[in-house]
C-alpha cells in the first residue's frame, strides 16, 4: 500500500509499532494517520486515544485500516469506529485514496 500511495503523490512515513507511531506523529505532524487496530505492543485504538489526548496531535485525522472487521460490518457501523473512519481489509487502493481525499477535504484527483 505504501508504494501505491507514493505513486499517487502521497508522502508516506511508516512506524513499526504504536509507540514509534506516536513519536513520529509528534515529530513530523502528518496531514493524516492510517492505523491498523491490531499492532504490536499497543493497538491502534490506544494509539488513536493517545494522539487525540495530546494537543500537538489531536487535530490529525485518523483512518483505521483493519482486518478485525468484515466489509459488511464496516457498512453496518457506518464506516466509523470511535468517531474515526475505518476500512476493512482487504481494501481496494482506489477506495483508500478516495477516502483519504474525503477525510482531507480534497477533491479526488483520479
**Domain harbouring 76, CATH code:** 3.40.50.2300
Whether the predicted pLDDT of 106 surpasses 70: no
Give me the percent of the chain exceeding a pLDDT of 90.
45
Please give the torsion angle defined by the CA atoms of residues 75, 79, 82 and 84, in that order, rounded to the nearest 10 degrees.
170
Give the pLDDT confidence of 78-97 residue by residue, as tens digits: 455 556 777 888 888 998 99
Mean pLDDT of 53-73: 81
Residue 82 C-alpha cell reads as: 470511535
Give the distance between the most distant pair of CA atoms in the chain: 36
Cα–Cα–Cα angle for 104, 83, 71, nearest 5°? 85
Return the pLDDT at 68.
58
Q: What is the pTM of this model?
A: 0.81
DSSP SS3 for 52: helix
Residue 66 has pLDDT above 60, yes or no: yes
Q: How many domains does the chain have?
A: 1
pLDDT computed for residue 107 by the predictor: 59
In a domain, 103, yes or no: no
**Beta strand spans in 1-99 (E):** 33-35, 62-66, 80-81, 84-88
Can you give the residue range of the structural domain that contains 65?
Answer: 2-91
Amino acid at each position: 500500500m505504501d508504494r501505491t500511495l507514493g505513486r499517487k503523490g502521497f508522502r508516506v512515513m511508516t512506524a513499526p509499532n504504536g509507540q514509534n507511531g506516536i513519536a513520529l506523529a509528534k515529530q513530523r505532524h502528518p496531514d493524516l494517520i492510517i492505523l491498523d487496530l491490531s499492532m504490536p505492543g499497543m493497538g491502534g485504538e490506544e494509539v488513536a486515544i493517545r494522539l487525540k489526548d495530546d494537543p500537538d496531535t489531536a487535530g490529525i485525522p485518523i483512518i483505521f485500516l483493519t482486518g478485525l472487521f468484515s466489509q459488511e460490518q464496516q457498512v453496518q457501523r457506518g464506516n466509523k469506529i470511535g468517531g474515526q473512519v475505518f476500512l476493512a481489509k482487504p481494501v481496494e487502493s482506489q477506495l483508500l485514496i478516495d477516502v483519504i481525499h474525503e477525510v482531507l477535504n480534497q477533491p479526488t484527483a483520479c
